[in-house]
């Protein structure tokens, strides 16, 4: 059902209040335990819900196939919804992989930086911060990469200058550019400071 992946075994913890959803055989021929190790399970912790997934271990320079496995994608989406809401509303996909074969979704790929900022332009308070949060994650992941952060700043300036961008999105990005930005951001911030809806950033430059 799942593409080739790194299997984690010998998980630590009390193993209490668990609902095991899926296991995988840990083959001793490849250094495994010889047991069927839990790979997907849920745990109730106080009033909280935990969806635990040990799949998807890849590095930056490794084959990303495990991330493109339909099983990984569908399980992560559905498990995350359950952890957040206590129920799953997503329909079971028609192309769900079966026991005899895995299904790889080659078109599944990371958003480009341009994609994230383009989608973030639609943000409104009270709605999902998905793309804004992904932008913040990119910043954290590349916090020591000066060239990448310059690209982020360029995209921020484009967003702040865009006519099709919501005020809520601009206010959110202004907050981030206030510490990340360089002198080249000053002109766009000055322009925003003259507008009532973004006047709060008047003191930044």
pLDDT of residue 2: 64
Closest CA to 8 of 75, 66, 77: 66
pLDDT single digits (tens) 6-48? 777 788 888 888 999 999 899 899 888 999 999 999 998 888 9
Q: What are the structure tokens assigned to 37, written together?
A: 């190790």
Q: Which CATH number fits domain 1-106: 3.40.50.880, 3.40.50.2000, 3.40.50.1260, 1.20.210.10?
A: 3.40.50.880
Has residue 161 got a pLDDT over 70?
yes
Evaluate if residue 153 carries a pLDDT over 90.
yes
* pLDDT of 205 above 50: no
- Residue 113 — φ and ψ, nearest 5°? -60, -40
State the pLDDT confidence band at 154, using cuts at 50, 70 and 90.
Answer: very high
Question: Any idea where the domains of the chain sit in the sequence?
Answer: 1-106, 111-201
Kindly state the average pLDDT of the residues 175-190: 87
pLDDT for 77-131, tens place per residue?
Answer: 999 999 999 999 987 776 677 777 778 776 666 678 999 999 999 999 998 888 8
Give every CB contact of residue 101 below 8 A, 6+ residues apart in sequence.
Answer: none
> Given this model, what pLDDT does residue 50 score?
94
How many other CB atoms are found less than 10 A from the CB of residue 69?
Answer: 23
Q: What count of other Cβ atoms lies within 10 Å of the Cβ of residue 68?
A: 18
**Contact by Cβ (8 Å): 117, 156:** yes
For the cut 60, the answer to whether the pLDDT of residue 202 exceeds it is no
């Amino acid at each position: 059902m799942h593409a080739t992946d790194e299997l984690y075994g010998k998980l630590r913890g009390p193993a209490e209040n668990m609902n095991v959803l899926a296991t995988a055989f840990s083959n001793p021929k490849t250094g495994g335990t010889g047991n069927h190790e839990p790979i997907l399970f849920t745990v109730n912790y106080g009033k909280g819900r935990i969806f635990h997934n040990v799949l998807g271990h890849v590095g930056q320079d490794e084959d990303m196939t495990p991330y493109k496995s339909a099983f990984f994608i569908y399980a992560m989406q559905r498990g995350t919804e359950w952890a957040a809401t206590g129920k799953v509303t997503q329909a079971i996909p028609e192309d769900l992989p079966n026991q005899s074969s895995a299904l790889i979704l080659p078109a599944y790929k990371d958003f480009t930086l341009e994609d994230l900022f383009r989608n973030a332009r639609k943000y409104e308070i009270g709605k999902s911060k998905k793309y804004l949060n992904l932008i913040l994650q990119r910043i954290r992941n590349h916090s020591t990469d000066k060239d990448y952060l310059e690209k982020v700043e360029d995209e921020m300036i484009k967003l702040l200058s865009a006519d099709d961008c919501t005020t809520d999105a601009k206010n959110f990005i202004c907050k981030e550019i206030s510490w990340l930005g360089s002198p080249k951001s000053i002109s766009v911030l000055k322009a925003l400071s003259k507008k009532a809806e973004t006047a709060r950033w008047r003191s930044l430059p």
